[in-house]
Amino acid sequence: MKEAQIKQAYEVAKARYAELGIDSDAAVAKLQDLSISLHCWQTDDVTGTEKADGSLTGGIQATGNYPGKARNLAEIRADIDKAMALIPGEHRVNVHALYADFSETGFVDRDKIEPKHFQSWIDWAKEKGYKLDFNATCFSHEKSADGFTLSHRDPAIRQFWIDHVNACRKIAEEMGRQLNSACIHNIWIPDGSKDLTVDRALYRKNLKESLDKIFEMKTNDDYMRDCIECKLFGIGSESYVVGSHEFYMGYGVANNKMVTLDSGHFHPTEVISDKISSLLLFAPEIMLHVSRGVRWDSDHVVLLTDELQALAQEIVRADAFDRVHVGLDYFDASINRIGAYVVGTRAAQKAFLMALLEPIAQLRAFEAKGQNFERLALLEEAKALPWADVYNYFCLKNNAIVGEAYIADIQKYEADVTSKR
């Protein structure tokens, strides 16, 4: 599309929204503030930098063998840069502890990692203008091989993972300090059982005690925020997961910790959009890991689905833009990996833009008066409003490729770069 066409279409859309009392310029400005955290593990199928084979354990599985995955930190960062260039706005990068840089220091085990092992990530982020988030990696390790980490029966194993998580919290704090933006550190563990478990309470008691010990180490909230993430089940933990939603919701509320909601970590018929307004009454903030569940698999590329739209609507309607952090969490090894980034991130942006352009004032007025037909009708009509023309304008303002033209750009990168790996 030509620039003049995009601007002309936007002016028409702007006038249409103005008829409903909606300021499209304000919506575009608000969308500009939405900084989505792109997960580094999409580039290499969660291989990381520790092992040559990149074998996965702990219920983590990347399916597919599409050629051209990143093989080292330089290629990971190059692929993220390429994706960032095709996504309008300014965004973050989410790094797992599995991606340490040992090139200058030599390998150390996870309980001994330090900020120096991630300094090259910080330097790269500074150069590119990105902010960083971080995750402890409590999987794909010999001390997680039996399916338990922070809830393990062996106190020595628990202590190893406590030390690892606190090492990661120190790293996250240093990332936030150097980049002048609070780094969100997420804790997810794979702990659970494939079959029936008798001592469920024991493992949850162990997990609570481990978390209590972890959070005895105080950090600066200006530089690092803790969050804890639940899961319904995983590969190898089909019958029992120690860190259930009820456990982490209770722990988060009791200890004033941010709770992470992953859209693929619940029952296939359960959605997280309805949890937003409840959880925000009791938790200081929420971290979202946005993915797309398909039956048992939670890690498909994000699309502009009804649930994604509902999730964005709940956040906007609750006026919670500043209390909800948005990150992506999927790893599709069956398609072009940079394309997966761009499709998913743009879908998330579109959902939030649609929510920001909703005629919420009129909808609330109908609801307050019990005018349910009118509310329903306006909700339906709002679906056909020209939000796509607003998104195209948003892309233009950010010097990002408009529309489907990014497909050819990614194909060229594949031909020139990833296909030669």
Active site residues: 188, 229, 231, 262, 265, 289, 297, 299, 329
Count of C-beta atoms within a 10 Å radius of residue 21: 10
Show the CA angle centred on residue 316, arms to residues 314 and 320, nearest 5°.
Answer: 95
Burial 306-338 (b: 16+ CB within 10 A, else e): ebbbbbbbbbbeeebbeebbbbbbbbbbeebbb
Question: Residue type at 324?
Answer: V
How many Å apart are CA 88 and CA 421, to the nearest integer?
Answer: 28
Quickly list DSSP for 352-385.
HHHHHTS-HHHHHHHHHTT-HHHHHHHHHHHTTS
3-class SS at 156?
Answer: helix
Dihedral angle, C-alpha 213, 215, 220, 223, nearest 10 ° = 110
How many Å apart are CA 37 and CA 183, to the nearest integer?
Answer: 11
Question: Residue type at 176?
Answer: G
At a CB cut-off of 8 Å and minimum separation 6, what does 359 contact?
A: 20, 21, 22, 378, 382
Decide if 239 contacts 193 (C-beta within 8 A). yes
Pairing of strands 92-96, 192-193: unpaired
How many Å apart are CA 226 and CA 215, to the nearest integer?
Answer: 9
Question: Residue type at 380?
Answer: E
Count of C-beta atoms within a 10 Å radius of residue 289: 26
**117: nearest Cα among 108, 129, 130:** 108
**183: nearest Cα among 105, 238, 122:** 122
